[in-house]
Amino acid sequence: MANKSRESETYLVAKEHLPRHVGIIMDGNGRWAKKRGLPRTAGHARGAKVFKEIALYCADRGVKAVTFYAFSTENWKRPPDEVSTLMSLLRDCLEDGLEHYRRKNVRAHIIGDAEQLPASLREMIDEVEKSYTQNTGMILNVALNYGGRAEIVRAVQNIAAEAAAGRLSPESVTEETVEQNLYTAGQPPLDLVIRPSGEERLSNFMLWQSAYSEFWFSDVLWPDFTKDDLERAFRDFENRNRRFGGI
Ligand code: FPP
């Protein structure tokens, strides 16, 4: 159900009732900039600032994992200058985050196909990924050149290769086998998907992982999204009646 109200109660949801894994579709950067007569890239720059704030706040709040949708496999269709600004912004943003991840014990992980990304961004990804193995705190997934369908295809290819090599029989393939071959293998299930900016769709984001997710939508544009908005989503999540197909 959409929650469009920005006023309401202000209590903080207890840590044990928080979603274990939150997915955030950062949307509305372009509209935010347009409203101010600024280039779209100014919206992305502001959006990157909000990403940093919200990511670190999630770590402070005790969320176990959070995934941000930063660049989809479909975003290559944007004008080349917007794509290249986004690439350098993403690189700077990851570099800037390194020290914070160390201090907050955050395990940063890039999900998506890094092959097509510029070399300087790939180098930074290698740097950032070290935190995934070295640290023990919150998992921070950043989806870059990511698509939910492509992720499932990749998992199927890995499983098929195992079967072709005789290491796995087709009958033994289970949901767990697929899960173990996703970028998010071993991570908590996606409990809550947040999408600001008034759009109410998944846009190829974590298709497998969102099977039993709750959704929280808001009209706020991503560059205006605040910790209070996140807390609103948490309060709403706490009051959902999750049945997982039961009664
Ligand atoms: C969607 O808004 C936003 C994006 C495609 C880019 C999101 C990326 C950032 C905020 C940079 C964050 C950096 C890191 C490292 C995560 P839109 O351009 O589709 O907005 P519109 O719908 O208003 O046009």
Confidence (pLDDT) at 6:
57
What is the average pLDDT value for the chain, to the nearest integer? 95
Name the 3-class secondary structure at 152.
helix
111 band by pLDDT with thresholds 50, 70 and 90: very high
Confidence (pLDDT) at 4:
47
Substitution candidate for ligand 1 out of 31, 36, 44 with most atoms within 8 A of CB: 44
- Beta carbons within 8 Å of 181's beta carbon, 6+ residues apart: 154, 155, 156, 158, 159
Substitution candidate for ligand 1 out of 26, 52, 82 with most atoms within 8 A of CB: 26
- In tens, the pLDDT along 176-202 reads 999 999 999 999 999 999 999 999 999
Average pLDDT over residues 46-75: 97
C-alpha to C-alpha distance for 16 and 236, rounded to whole angstroms: 15
Average pLDDT over residues 216-221: 98
Report CA(41)–ligand 1 centroid distance (Å).
Answer: 9
- In tens, the pLDDT along 7-28 reads 557 899 999 999 999 999 999 9
Which of 153, 140, 130 lies closest to 69, judged by CA? Answer: 140
